[in-house]
Structure 1
Amino acid sequence: EDITKYADLFESLSKEEKKRKGILGETNELLGSLDMAYHGGFSVKLSATFYINFPKFHAIALPFQAYVRVDSIVGNLFLYCTPHTHNPSSSSPSEFHPSKLLLMFSEMPKTKFSIRLNVGRTNAKISAIFPQISNYFVSSIRKNLWKQCVCPNRLSFNI
């Protein structure tokens, strides 16, 4: 909510008012709020083989595959890009710190995931037999999304 108020304030003021109030620091800053609606779906496939040892030197290899498909993400995405700044520890006046692009959602976005888990060579669909396992993976993905990119947390990239 504070981010939305800040973005509204930022858009309502003139450039001179922004400089006077200290809102607009340097040139080449970027501040924005996007209503994001991604409906397309991208997939990730994870494969692993588990080796299980039994007594008397017997072992079994158990292949495991997980398919995660993100069907949609809908939410308000806030972005901020800092300007290049001079590196004070450098003796060269032309050396700059890179800009940072910060991305965060103002609240938890609405998401839709689908997960398929296969175990063994017969590709037994564990997610169909035990839906609680799929629900656990979906809740883990949502929890990590919350921890990584919902305000005040953010994704940060050097550009």
Structure 2
Amino acid sequence: ATGASTADLAIVLIDARQGVLRQTRRHSIIASLLGIRHIVLAVNKIDLVGFDKAVFERIVADYAQFSRELGFQSIVSIPMSARYGDNVTGRSDKTEWYSGPTLIEHLETVSVDEAAVELPFRFPVQYVNRPNLDFRGFAGTIASGSVSPGDEVVV
């Protein structure tokens, strides 16, 4: 979860033949706990259910009911076939009933919180480097805010 701890968006991949599984719910709860606010519900293998709109809508409704309490800011659901590229990079003529974006279109245009620099300084420590007793270094990625030389930092 180290990389996911700084993510703004998560792609939840669902097999159209199986629907929302326990693992889907678990991954969504983890995403919520990590503070991820934007979800792409990628309903994959839609080709294996005959590009059936009803199957897609049932999965979307099931996920919406479950995820209502998780605090996601946005959930964009996309019917797709990764194997054939349907609604991945280009619009599929087999899902004429779907008017939303392709996966790539959405990823390139989704609005995420870019005001993190205005928040208080947060630096999740991912590694402590202590080559000897006189030195202790900390490695990680700035999650929010900013720091300048001379600023006091509390660990």
Same fold per TM (> 0.5)? no
TM-score bucket of the superposed structures, by smaller chain: under 0.3
What TM-score do the two structures reach when normalised by structure 1?
0.24
Where is the strand percentage greater, Structure 1 or Structure 2?
A: 1
Where is the helix percentage greater, Structure 1 or Structure 2?
A: 2
What TM-score do the two structures reach when normalised by structure 2?
0.25
